[in-house]
Amino acid sequence: MGSRWQVEKHKDPYYKRAKQEDYRSRASYKLKQLDKKFKLIKQGNTVVDLGAAPGGWSQVALEKVGEDGIVVGVDLNRFKKFHEENYYGIRGDFTTPEVQEKIIELIGGKAKVVMSDASPSLCGIKNIDQLRSIDLTNAVIEIAENILEEKGNLVMKVFQGPEYKSMLDSLKGKFRQVKTTKPASSRKKSSEMYVVGLKYRPKKNRKENKN
């Protein structure tokens, strides 16, 4: 199984391209394609990358925000730091209050973009894996609600399961637009989808916007 995966990886055009263009991960192209389609990140933005290792999404975000923006990457696993002065790495569990407080401290309160390409730790038991996926998705949404500025954007990886539709319905009340998509660089075999929330509406503005 391991050797087959290695062979498939080296045949993968996005894996080869990442090596050629010096990106940390083939996942960089997922964010590039998502950003091209939805205009998620702009120069000068503050971006929080949840589940950042090995840094493919943070790398693209740094290119987009330029010297005037800030990128904060959070992951349980250690990964090579970026040299840019406007990048901040946190090693820890972003679902914990302690790490969330540290994020808020680094960004000065609010972010323009929250993004997550994180996957839960899977055990192979469908019901348990779905619950873990739901918990991770809910954690990302909760953080986004706490730190997104008005009209901010959210992009996150999700896996379809029993709670998928209710999650989307909930997001539609929090963002002006909610889109689901699967970028071309996402492996066809994968059940992953990406949810994009555009123009966040803080709680205080939601009732008046429903009328």
Q: Which of 30, 32, 112, 157 is catalytic?
A: 157
Radius of gyration of the chain (CA): 17
Asked about 204 being catalytic, the answer comes back as: no
Query: Cα separation of 140 and 41, whole Å?
Result: 18
**Helices 28-38 & 13-20, crossing angle to 10 degrees?**
90
- Asked if residue 101 lies in contact with residue 147, where contact means CB atoms within 8 angstroms, the answer is no
Closest-CA residue to 50 (of 58, 42, 38, 39) = 58
Tell me how far CA of residue 154 lies from CA of 18, 86, 87, 104, in angstroms: 24, 20, 19, 16
What residues act catalytically? 157
